Structure 1
Amino acid sequence: MLDRYVRPLIDPPLNRAGRMIAQVRISANMMTTFGWVLGILAAVAIAQHSYWLALALVLASRLADGLDGAVARATQLSDFGGYYDIVADFVFYAAIPMGFIWADPAANGVAGGALLTAFYINGATFLGYAILAAKRNLTTSARGEKSWYHVGGLLEGTETIVFFVALCLFPGWFVPLAWVFALLCVLGAAARIMMARQVMRD
């Protein structure tokens, strides 16, 4: 929901940094790999109850995720790069809740499982919409230049990053925060299904 407002603010500095990174021959795919590796390390830190380290790794991971697109725009966008980026994003989105489940399976297991289920449902509506949008030659740049159709929703990248930051800052609140975010994910997925029904009606 907030990505369309955040992107105009963060894209100019990211694009400048992306051009500098491209000059030292670091590719967009290398940045993508760096981002998801940092995300996995953040999950490991959470499992070890090192929440401040996890917070730093989460923020570094998302910075790398923003820079991979900037590097691609400074060099050459590719279909594989776009595909690899979304796969890496989903690895990150799964890893952080798993970190909290590993940290305390008894306390966090059910809420963490519900959150992962909601992410799965939300991801299905998000990617399914993108596939059919490509089939219908739909385009949008509201959330930055992408290799595929990036449909919006109630919860997007900005909200998810804020949510993960909040979890690292207040790990004792994981269970209620996870349930609330899971519910919002499901509501967003339902809204996207209704939107798809209107847009893609034959």
Structure 2
Amino acid sequence: MLDGVARKLIDPPLNRAGTMLASRGWQADHVTLAGLGLGLAAAALIWAGLPGIALIPLLASRIADGLDGAVARATAKTDFGGYLDICADFAFYAAIPLAFVLSNPAGNGAAGAFLLACFYINGSTFLGYAILAERAKMQTSSRGAKTLYFTGGLLEGTETIVFFCAICALPHLFNPLAWAFGALCLVTATSRVLLAHHTFRAKDT
């Protein structure tokens, strides 16, 4: 829901930084992998019982996630780069809740499992829609220039980052926040299925 607004604010400085990195020989894939490494480091710190400290690499990983696209735009966008980016994003989104479960299986297990299941369901509706949008030659730039077609929704990347920051800053609230965020993920997934029904059923008739 907030990605469109966030992109307008962060794209100009990211594009400048991306151009600078590209001029120094960085490739977008390198930035993507660096961002994934930072995200997994954040997950490791959460698992070790240090969620507050994990905020530092977590936020750095999301900056890298924005920078890789900026570097690609300053050099050359590739299909594999887009594929690697979405794989890294999904790995990061899975690693953070899993780390909370591993840090306290008895206390966080049920809420963490529910959250991961909701992420899985929401992610499948996102990727399925992107595949059909590609087949229909649909395009959008409301979430920035992307390799995949990005559909809007109640919860997007910005909201997920805010949620991750909240559970790191307030780990004792992981359970209620995870149950609530997971439920909102299901709302987002349902709305995307309804949107797909409206969009692609119309194209089939």
Q: For 1:11-26, what aligned pairs fall within 5 Å after superposition? A: 11-26=11-26
- 1:144 paired residue number: 144
Aligned to 1:193: 193
1:4 aligns with 2:4: yes
Separation in 2 of the partners of 1:98 and 1:7? 28
User: Deviation at 1:200?
Assistant: 0.4
Q: Residues of 2 paired with 1:105 and 1:138: CA distance?
A: 43
Structure 2 partner of 1:82? 82
2:172 is aligned with 1:172: yes
Q: Tell me the TM-score normalised to structure 1 length.
A: 0.99
Q: Deviation string for 1:135-182 (max 9, x for gaps)?
A: 000000000001121111110000000000001100000000000000
Alpha-carbon offset, residue 52 of structure 1: 2.1
* 1:93 corresponds to: 93
Q: Name 2:36's counterpart in structure 1.
A: 36
Q: Matches of 1:20 and 1:81 in 2, distance apart?
A: 19
| 3-state DSSP of counterpart to 2:76 | coil
Give 2:102's aligned amino acid.
W
> Taking structure 2 as the reference length, what is the TM-score of the superposition?
0.98
The amino acid that maps onto 2:74 is A
**1 CA distance for matches of 2:51 and 2:115?**
19
Report the Cα distance in structure 2 between the residues aligned to 1:85 and 1:102, rounded to whole angstroms.
25
Deviation for aligned residue 1:23: 0.9
Deviation at 1:35, TM superposition (A): 0.6
Runs of 4+ in 1 over 6 A off after TM superposition: none
Letter in 1 for 2:131: I
Q: What are the ranges of 5 or more consecutive residues in structure 1 without an aligned counterpart?
A: none
Q: Residues of 2 paired with 1:114 and 1:167: CA distance? A: 15
Structure 2 residue identity aligned to 1:197? H
Q: Which residue number corresponds to residue 69 of structure 2?
A: 69
Identity of aligned residues (%): 57
Q: Distance in 2 between matches of 1:152 and 1:120?
A: 17
Match status 1:45 vs 2:45: yes
Distance 2:37 2:155 in 1: 24
CA–CA distance in 1 between the matches of 2:25 and 2:173?
42
Paired with 1:118 and 1:101, the residues of 2 have a C-alpha distance of 15
In the TM superposition, what whole-angstrom CA distance separates every residue of 1:176-197 from its partner, at most 9, and x where no partner exists?
Answer: 0000000000010000000000
Residues 88-139 of structure 1: CA distance to partner in whole angstroms, max 9, x if unpaired?
0000000000110011000000100000000000000000000000000000
| Distance in 2 of aligned mates of 1:72 and 1:152 | 23
Q: 2:178 & 2:132 partners in 1: Cα distance?
A: 30
Number of matched residues?
Answer: 202
Q: Partner amino acid for 2:140?
A: T
Aligned letter for 1:187? V
Aligned AA (1:96): I
Instruction: Tell me the residue number matched to 1:131.
Output: 131
State the alpha-carbon separation in 1 of the partners of residues 68 and 103 from structure 2: 30
